[in-house]
Amino acid sequence: MPKIKNNIDRVSKRIDQSATECGRAPSDILLLAVSKTRSTDEIRRAMDAGLTHFAENYLQEALDKISQLEDEDLHWHFIGPLQSNKTRSVAEHFNWVHSVDRLKIAQRLNDQRPEELGPLNICLQVNIDHEPSKSGLPADAVLTVALEVVKLPNLRLRGLMAIPQAEPSFEQQKIAFQKLAELREHINQSLDNSEKLDTLSMGMSNDLEAAVSQGSTIVRVGTDIFGKRE
Ligand SMILES: *Cc1c(COP(=O)(O)O)cnc(C)c1O
């Protein structure tokens, strides 16, 4: 199954090219493989191609894979909707959570994070298009939550995440990503040097070029690595 490796090579080239075009270092952008619905075999193919960061949306499915791959040196990112009753398992088994959209969830993750694992990396999810049906904090509420989350000792607030509406053109895709980048700048003005946000988790299979052009540091790619999901 050389397909996954070929796909990863192709996605990596797209990232490198987009970064180079706007004067960024390709190494500043992490390719996060979204492995929801994929088997551990498929994850191993991606590992063989050099990837070590994997993202999951569904907790039980994720916990099964994490335990099957526990001997590997992998970094697990939780990117799905997060309810209060799931925070303990997430705090115990993941390195990153991108989908924090309420202070209460952050507080629970902080209280439940095992100290020996070190701080859990957090992104606040922003509803950047103001879509009523979508999860994520409204843009104008993010600063207030961020200023509380940075006080939590077992969390490290790294940045912002968004899943913008699908747009057909590069120019249209750029708009939401630019808004998220500006929001990070705005928040950073209120943070101490040691607390400044260094992460923008934005860009997926169809819009990663536009995201990289606006400063993305983590692109979350599923389909273009593993193929279409069932
Ligand atoms: C599924 C998912 C992705 C990956 O999307 P693709 O279009 O398959 O690349 C990225 N981010 C989130 C939050 C997802 O749920």
Mutate to test the pocket of ligand 1, among 8, 57, 220, 223 (most ligand atoms within 8 A of CB): 220
Q: How far is the CA of 92 from the centre of ligand 1 (A)?
A: 23
Can you give the pLDDT at residue 142?
98
Query: Which residues, in sequence order, are CB contacts of 122 under 8 Å at separation 6+?
Result: 96, 97, 100, 106, 109, 149, 155, 156, 157, 158
1 pLDDT above the threshold of 80: no
Q: Where are the beta strands (DSSP E) in the chain?
A: 30-34, 53-56, 75-78, 96-100, 120-125, 155-161, 199-201, 218-221
Q: Ligand 1 pocket by C-beta < 6 Å: which residues?
A: 34, 36, 57, 79, 163, 204-205, 220-224
Do 45 and 226 touch, CB atoms closer than 8 A?
no
* Residue-wise pLDDT tens digits, 169-221: 999 999 999 999 999 999 999 999 999 999 999 999 999 999 999 999 999 99
User: CB-based contacts of 61: which residues, under 8 Å, 6+ apart?
Assistant: 36, 37
CA-nearest residue for atom 11, ligand 1, is 220
Residue 93, number of CB atoms within 10 A of its CB? 18
Q: How far is the CA of 209 from the centre of ligand 1 (A)?
A: 15
- What secondary structure does DSSP assign to 60-77, as a single string? HHHHHHHHHTTTS--EEE
Atom of ligand 1 nearest to the CA of 226: 8
Closest atom of ligand 1 relative to the 223 alpha carbon: 8
In CATH terms, the fold of domain 2-226 is TIM Barrel (3.20.20)
- Taking the C-alpha atoms of residue 58 and residue 76, their distance in angstroms, rounded to an integer, is 12
Q: What's the pLDDT tens digit per position in 12-68?
A: 999 999 999 999 999 999 999 999 999 999 999 999 999 999 999 999 999 999 999
Q: Give the span between the Cα atoms of 34 and 74, in whole angstroms.
A: 13
Q: Could you tell me what percent of the chain has a pLDDT over 70?
A: 100
Which residue is closest in CA terms to ligand 1's atom 4? 222
Q: Which pLDDT value is given to residue 11?
A: 98
Confidence (pLDDT) at 230: 83
Q: Probe ligand 1: pick from 79, 82, 207, 208, max atoms within 8 Å of CB?
A: 79
Burial class of residue 130, CB neighbours in 10 A (0-12, 13-18, 19+): exposed
Q: Helix 59-68 crosses helix 40-48 at what angle (to 10 degrees)? A: 60
Q: Which residue from 105, 121, 7, 104 is spatially nearest to 55, judged by alpha carbons?
A: 121
| pLDDT at 134 (0 to 100) | 86
Index of the ligand 1 atom closest to the CA of residue 220? 10
Instruction: For residue 221, give the ligand 1 atom closest to its CA.
Output: 9
pLDDT in the model for residue 84: 97
Residue range 111-121: average pLDDT? 98
pTM reported for the whole predicted model: 0.97
Q: How far apart are CA 191 and CA 34, in angstroms?
A: 30
CA of 204 to the centre of ligand 1 (A): 6
Condensed to tens digits (0 to 9), the pLDDT of residues 134-147 reads 899 999 999 999 99
- Please provide residue 63's backbone torsions phi and psi, each rounded to the nearest 5 degrees: -60, -40
Q: pLDDT at position 119, please?
A: 98
Using the predicted structure, report yes or no on whether residue 133 has a pLDDT greater than 90. no
- Which residue has the least CA distance to atom 7 on ligand 1? 205
From ligand 1's centre to the CA of 2, what distance in Å? 22
